[in-house]
Structure 1
Amino acid sequence: MISTKPRFLSMGSTLVAALVLAGCTSLAPRHERPAAPVPAELPLPASLAASAPASAASTAWPDFLRSAPLQQLVKLSLERNRDLRLAVLNVQRAQAQLGVTRADRLPTVGAGLTQSATPSGGGTARSYTAGLQVSGWEIDLFGRLANLGEAAQAQVLASEAGRRSAELALVAGVASSWLTLAADTDLLASTSRLVESREASMKLAQLRFDKGAASSLELQSARLLLEQARAARAQLQRQRDQDLNALTLLAGGPVPAELLPTASTSAMAGDTLAPVPVGLSSQVLLQRPDVIEAEQQLVAASANIGVARAAFFPRLTLTASAGQASTSLSDLFSAGQFAWTMSSQLLATVFDAGRNKANLEGAKIARDIAVAQYEKAVQSAFRDTADALAGLDTWRDQLAAQQTQLDAIRETVRLTDLRYQNGAASELERLDAQRSLLSAEQALVQVRLGEQLNRVALWKVLGG
């Protein structure tokens, strides 16, 4: 019996040597994160700059959103939103492509049974083989396949960052839409109360006019005020319906009635959102999903330069087979019939009309584009954060001033009502005071909404 051990050792050592050589060299430039083209510190308002830590921990959305209905709505939206579903599918597609790229670095082994027949001395010589085959396996001498794998891995990380970015945008969008709907609910409720008051005033004016106690001018003034209130109510009703439609789109379907804001869960409530912790260092912006996505795109672009450079060098491919071989089918699986073959091919490009050079130039330009996009992402993140930080103090100051103004107008209305009851003020003065009160109440709702939307924006721009 002929020993096949030396044959196995010979073929095995060749395969081991090929695996060792594969990926030993990488022609891609080493990735270095570009310097952030923004100041090292965030532009904190004076009230925070003295006490802010160097960096602050992120706040998960369940801790940031304190309203139970809003939390449930966000959970529902995360399950049903189509944009987020597309982002998840993009991650899965990138992972599948990474699997394909990694598989290219390993040999594809097939099993087969073949028969061949050739004329020989007036007869036919037949041969039979059965075994395993490796065809056209590229030995990655210059890191072409390794760089393709690195680029695919970076695309996976970029798509995952894109998914997190989509999730962050969805949570912020749902919160903003819910708060806006709550504010419109407040405005609509106050305007409806005004309509009821104006309707009562209109009935009283009509009654006084019918009895000759009021002039036609007073009657028309009451009618004008009533119609103005009705027009404002119709406008607010339309606005609220449109806000509900926008919220429904974000939620991925109809929003349960119990999760919608009411007058008792309105934007007037000051504890709907938790405070957003802010640190001094602008390095926190580098952890934003959109910035991470831009950096991973830069990593992929650098890896593609290695792929383009490897095209200038020869490609080594290996073809091998091992199994049983016999001239007779009946003896194919008998002992001593083992056989193996191995061949390699080294191919180098001699002339390609400048194709490889153009591909390398295009890969370098693509990397320059990725650098610019990364720097722009960092700058946009800094600008968005600076805008939100600028609103922290100003919105709070405006809210406090608006609340003081509302308190003063309420006192004015109370005193005007007393004077009216004692005959010292006219109906026109009383209506004018009530109109001022309504305007102040609505302005407070709008200012509080602006302050809360600014906090949602700050939470989002800091990466959640």
Structure 2
Amino acid sequence: MKRLTAAIALAALATGCSQIPSYQAPQNDLPPSLTLADNLKLDNQLNDQAWWQSFADQQLTEWLEQALGYNRDLAVLDQRLVQAQAALTRGQADRLPNVIGQAGLGRQQTSDNAFPTNQGAEFDRFTLEGLVSYEVDLWGRVRAQQQGLVARYQALASDRQAAQLSLTSAVAQHYFSLRALDEMVLIAQNTVVSRQENLQLRQRQFELGRLTPLAVQQAEVELSRVEVELIRLQAEQDQQRNALSVLLGHNPTQQLAMAQSHPESNTRFIDLTLPPLQLDWDSQRLLQRPDVIAAEQRLQAANADIGQARAALFPSLKLNALLGFSSVDLNSLFDSDALQWQANAGLTAPIFNGGALRAQLQITEAEQQIILLDYQQTLRQAFAETLNAISQLNRADAQLAAQQRQLDALRKTLDLAQKRFDAGYSSYLEVLDAQRALFDAEIAMARTQRDLRLARIALYKALGGHSQAAT
């Protein structure tokens, strides 16, 4: 017994010989801040809110809540988290002693030839035993396994956050694209009505001899051009609506309808105001992006895998103990004479395995380098996405101002062209050119309004959004 106790004490001292490499966080070369246009004011005021609340759009918020509640991909990831949590619990059990109990009863006949006296025996046997086994974590194998499970669970949780961010971004993108298409369809419908009225007027003028047939044909061509554009926009509108329905967990055949109680439902898209941008702009925030966190957690898991592979090269020590009762008579099963016990320590060491364990170590070390490269690429991609979003946002804002000036100028141009034509100073072609340019500019303005919102969504997504929405 003293020898066993000494062996256990020696094993306890040896548990400090961990083979797990010391984890070093990878270096990054991110600049301290990002350059933004003067009109973009970024701060931390929304850190306690979901990022989409910055748009102050009740319909968007309502549909995003629907998407978060019914999205299949998030539901799948939730179940994978349940699996990972169960695996983590199972792994934690490996660090504890394994205790089992067993009870038995039986009757047996011994062989007459098995004893010198040629007298076999037939008797009952009753047993009640408890067995304890425990692997002493000499080299940190069990601890490395646990660290790997924790890191993989956290990586999966970050994957879930990244999927949620992608989902909310996609819903917002489709929502504003649909709102922009609604606006463009309305512009086209109003323009078709205007062109039809204009064509009727030109036909009457032709009948009165005030216009040539060419002017009437030009008016018909312009009407047809707008009708073709209207059909194209309506087809694109249906596609956006179907895509949004799928993201919200609806059947695409189910019609999406905006709640009329929301203020934005009764406001034209081009008249919606966009609140000032409020965002945490420190570039180090990229390290908190869910996909970057997941990549680093996988790097930590790979580091733990190396610890397991190294520990497999060394002997393993397992302690076993048995305590119980055994008797041929059930009535005397718990007598002191029926007590039995056993204790032993087993040392298992790899002697020859054809280099398999060394090869496994090389595999895990190479895998760690691959994951490190993936992490570095993920961080670079995050920085590139942020720069692209900032560039797009800066240019969309400047483009919107320029297009508004263009739109104002084209409206004046059309008014002047119409007056010149009515006064007989110019041909009807000038009016058609002005009408065509104004229609194209109105459509372009709706697209730029959309692009400005999409750029803002891209920037929120690139920086990982704000605080996580409720799940």
TM-score, normalized by the shorter chain, greater than 0.5: yes
How far apart are the structure 2 equivalents of 1:341 and 1:426?
112
Displacement of 1:26 in angstroms is: 2.3
SS in 2 for 1:237: helix
Q: How does 1:196-207 map to 2 (within 5 A)?
A: 196-207=193-204
Task: Note if contact 2:43-2:279 (Cα within 8 Å) is conserved in structure 1.
Answer: no
Please state if 1:165 is matched with 2:162: yes
How far apart are the structure 2 equivalents of 1:34 and 1:213?
80
Task: Note if contact 1:72-1:259 (Cα within 8 Å) is conserved in structure 2.
Answer: no
Displacement of 1:309 in angstroms is: 0.4
How far apart are the structure 2 equivalents of 1:365 and 1:90?
27
Say which of 55, 61, 73 aligns to 2:63: 73
How far apart are the structure 1 equivalents of 2:240 and 2:271?
19
How far apart are the structure 1 equivalents of 2:275 and 2:176?
10
Specify the alignment match of 2:125 in structure 1. 127
SS in 2 for 1:257: coil
How far apart are the structure 2 equivalents of 1:52 and 1:249?
33
Q: How does 1:242-391 map to 2 (within 5 A)?
A: 242-253=239-250, 254=254, 256-259=256-259, 264-272=266-274, 275-279=277-281, 281-334=282-335, 337-391=338-392
Specify the alignment match of 2:31 in structure 1. 40
Q: Which string of whole-angstrom CA distances, capped at 9 and with x for unpartnered residues, describes residues 291-333 of structure 1?
A: 0000000000000000000111111223322222222223213
More displaced stretch, 116-125 vs 162-171: 116-125
SS in 1 for 2:345: strand
How far apart are the structure 1 equivalents of 2:334 and 2:7?
25
Q: How does 1:106-255 map to 2 (within 5 A)?
A: 106-115=96-105, 117=108, 119=110, 121-124=119-122, 126-134=124-132, 137-253=134-250, 254=254
Displacement of 1:181 in angstroms is: 0.6
How far apart are the structure 2 equivalents of 1:164 and 1:23?
37
Specify the alignment match of 1:447 in structure 2. 448
Deviating above 6 A after TM superposition, structure 1's stretches of 4 or more consecutive aligned residues are 13-16, 51-56, 260-263
Displacement of 1:201 in angstroms is: 2.2
Specify the alignment match of 2:77 in structure 1. 87
Displacement of 1:35 in angstroms is: 0.5
How far apart are the structure 2 equivalents of 1:55 and 1:184?
32
Specify the alignment match of 2:468 in structure 1. none
Partner amino acid for 1:122? G
Please state if 1:27 is matched with 2:19: yes
Q: TM-score w.r.t. structure 2 length?
A: 0.87
How far apart are the structure 2 equivalents of 1:399 and 1:370?
42
Displacement of 1:23 in angstroms is: 5.3
Displacement of 1:81 in angstroms is: 1.1
The total of aligned residue pairs comes to 452
Task: Note if contact 1:70-1:259 (Cα within 8 Å) is conserved in structure 2.
Answer: no
Specify the alignment match of 1:3 in structure 2. none
Structure 2 CA distance for partners of 1:328 and 1:265, relative to 1, 3 Å: farther
Please state if 1:96 is matched with 2:86: yes
Partner amino acid for 1:440? A
Q: Which string of whole-angstrom CA distances, capped at 9 and with x for unpartnered residues, describes residues 122-160 of structure 1?
A: 21355321132235x422211111111110100000000
Partner amino acid for 2:386? T
SS in 1 for 2:458: helix
Q: Which string of whole-angstrom CA distances, capped at 9 and with x for unpartnered residues, describes residues 271-298 of structure 1?
A: 355513243x421110110000000000
Structure 2 CA distance for partners of 1:212 and 1:292, relative to 1, 3 Å: same
Task: Note if contact 2:44-2:278 (Cα within 8 Å) is conserved in structure 1.
Answer: no
Q: Which string of whole-angstrom CA distances, capped at 9 and with x for unpartnered residues, describes residues 350-406 of structure 1?
A: 100000000000010011111111111111111111111223332211111111111
Structure 2 CA distance for partners of 1:259 and 1:103, relative to 1, 3 Å: farther
Task: Note if contact 1:21-1:140 (Cα within 8 Å) is conserved in structure 2.
Answer: no
Task: Note if contact 1:44-1:390 (Cα within 8 Å) is conserved in structure 2.
Answer: no
Identity %: 33
SS in 1 for 2:38: helix
SS in 1 for 2:324: strand
How far apart are the structure 1 equivalents of 2:43 and 2:11?
51
Displacement of 1:420 in angstroms is: 4.4
RMSD: 3.0
Partner amino acid for 1:386? L
Displacement of 1:415 in angstroms is: 3.1
Displacement of 1:59 in angstroms is: 5.4
Stretches of structure 1 lacking an aligned partner (at least 5 in a row): 1-6
More displaced stretch, 146-155 vs 13-22: 13-22
Task: Note if contact 1:67-1:273 (Cα within 8 Å) is conserved in structure 2.
Answer: no
Please state if 1:399 is matched with 2:391: no
Structure 2 CA distance for partners of 1:44 and 1:152, relative to 1, 3 Å: same
More displaced stretch, 236-245 vs 318-327: 318-327
SS in 2 for 1:339: strand
SS in 2 for 1:258: coil
Partner amino acid for 1:95? Q
How far apart are the structure 2 equivalents of 1:212 and 1:18?
115
SS in 2 for 1:47: coil
How far apart are the structure 1 equivalents of 2:325 and 2:184?
86
Task: Note if contact 1:317-1:344 (Cα within 8 Å) is conserved in structure 2.
Answer: yes
How far apart are the structure 2 equivalents of 1:66 and 1:14?
70
SS in 2 for 1:368: helix
Partner amino acid for 2:18? S
Partner amino acid for 2:24? E
